[in-house]
Every structure is written in structure tokens, then in C-alpha cells.
Amino acid sequence: MSDDQARYLETGSGADPADREFLDSVRAALRNEVTWSDPPPEVAARIMDDIAAGSRPLARLRPAWLGVAVVLGALLIAVITAVAGVFTSQQEEVVAMEGTEIERSAIGKATIGATGSGWWIRLQVDGLPPAPEGAYYEGWMWNDEGQGVSIGTFHLRDDDEPVMMWSGVDPADYPSIWVTLEDEDGDPAASDRVVMRGRTEG
């Protein structure tokens, strides 16, 4: 938006005459108290139901809520696009994760995908208990020379949702994935309590 357009929204003066009709509608929406109030709870649910049914949800909304519905729809599309951009990759690899002698019942998988800034790792585990108070789990990528890079920490105390971690090193160069149990003692080094292991195929 140009400075003239922004000034017109604030003062009602300036801006190109060709833009004023659109800007007037924006000013009207901004002045309308309905724009700044919470929509009725049924609005979002109705939109989603109608989208699923293949109908036109906006046709039945009162004019006062039409702008709000458009904004909600745009936000929904933006969120879906952003999530798809994070989790969609041309190359994804699934790595089997197994518990060690410390947690023999733990099992899971690590899905790895490349982005423009590194690699995301989505860890799904079953049978691994929540980290005790005063401790946490830490994910690592290790190379065959014994060098490890942390890819994130978690504790599994709240739910069993997948854990998202990130790596700045190439899994092809750091093919081993470990999960260790760490004490909250400020020591950044990996402990020797490895609870799960996996290895990529490069």
C-alpha cells in the first residue's frame, strides 16, 4: 500500500481517485465495530461445513459478517499453505527408531524432509515414557566419526503428538539419529543414556 493510500485510510484525503472507491469500502469496514468483535461461534463452523459439502457458504451470511468470513477463509488458506510448505518435500525419508537396553519397549519412526534452510525431523514414538521432572529428552544427529549435533529437546509430558526437530547438518553426513535422556544441569554435551537409535540410508 502506498503512502497516499495509507493517508487516505486515516484522513479521507489524498490518494488517486481511481483507488478511492475501494479505499472507502476498506475505511467503512475498519470503522464498523463488527469488524473488531468476535464472530458468532457458528460462523467458522458453518464455513467449514459448507466447504466440505461443496456449497457456497458466503451466500447465507449476513452482510455485516461477510468481510469477517472472507478474512477467516483467507487465514485458513494461508495456514494450510504454510503447513503444507513445511511438511511437503520432494525428498522424505522414514527412519525406523528402536529402543535401547534402557527403554526396550520404545519404538517409533523419524521422518526427514529437506527445506531451504535445513532438514525437519518429525519423530513419532510409542512406549517411551515421559521424561521425569528435572530431565528431558534430546535428539541428535551423529556422523561415523563420533561427532554429534543436537536437533532439539522435548519431554513428552503433555501429549503423544509427534515431536518436531530441526537439523542444520545433512543427514547423509550425519546418518545416525539418537535420543538421549538428559538432566537439566546446563551441560550441553550428550549423556551416555541413549534411549532410542535409528540410522538413515543416506
- Tell me the per-residue pLDDT of 132-190, one tens digit each, with 9 for 90 and over: 999 999 999 999 999 999 999 999 987 778 999 999 999 999 999 999 999 999 899 99
What is the chain's mean pLDDT, rounded?
Answer: 80
Alpha helices, H only, the chain: 3-11, 17-31, 33-36, 41-53, 63-87
Q: How far apart are CA 10 and CA 8, in angstroms?
A: 5
Q: Taking the C-alpha atoms of 10, 13, 19 and 21 in order, what is their torsion angle to the nearest 10 degrees?
A: 90
List the domains of the chain with CATH numbers: 3-86 (no CATH), 92-199 (2.60.40.200)
Name the one residue in this structure whose C-alpha cell is 525428498: 91
Rounded to an integer, what distance in angstroms lies between the CA atom of residue 178 and that of residue 194?
7
Burial classification of residue 108, based on how many CB atoms lie within 10 Å of its CB (0-12 exposed, 13-18 middle, 19 or more buried): buried
Q: Which of 15-24, 69-78, 88-97, 142-151 has the highest mean pLDDT?
A: 142-151
**Res 11: pLDDT:** 72
111-123 pLDDT, tens digit each: 999 998 999 999 9
Q: How far apart are CA 185 and CA 194, in angstroms?
A: 17
| Percent of the chain whose predicted confidence (pLDDT) is above 70 | 62
Q: Which residue has the higher pLDDT, 116 or 14?
A: 116
- Judged against a pLDDT cut of 70, whether residue 15 lies above it is answered with no
Q: Is 27 exposed, middle or buried (0-12, 13-18, 19+ CB in 10 A)?
A: middle
> What's the pLDDT at 39?
63
Q: How far is residue 22's CA from residue 24's CA, in Å, rounded to a whole number? A: 5
Contact 188, 149 (CB under 8 A): no
Whether residue 88 is predicted with pLDDT greater than 50 in this model: the reply is: no
Mean pLDDT of 22-31: 73
Confidence of residue 91 (pLDDT cuts 50, 70, 90): confident
From residue 79, alpha-carbon distances to 60, 72, 89, 201 in Å are 25, 11, 17, 32
SS3 121: strand
The residues, any chain, with a CB within 8 Å of residue 51's CB and separated by 6 or more, are: 57
For residue 18, pLDDT over 50 is answered with yes
pTM for this entry: 0.56
Rank 8-12, 84-88, 159-163 by mean pLDDT and report only the highest: 159-163
Higher-confidence residue: 178 or 11? 178
Higher pLDDT residue, 11 or 106?
A: 106
pLDDT at position 89 is 43
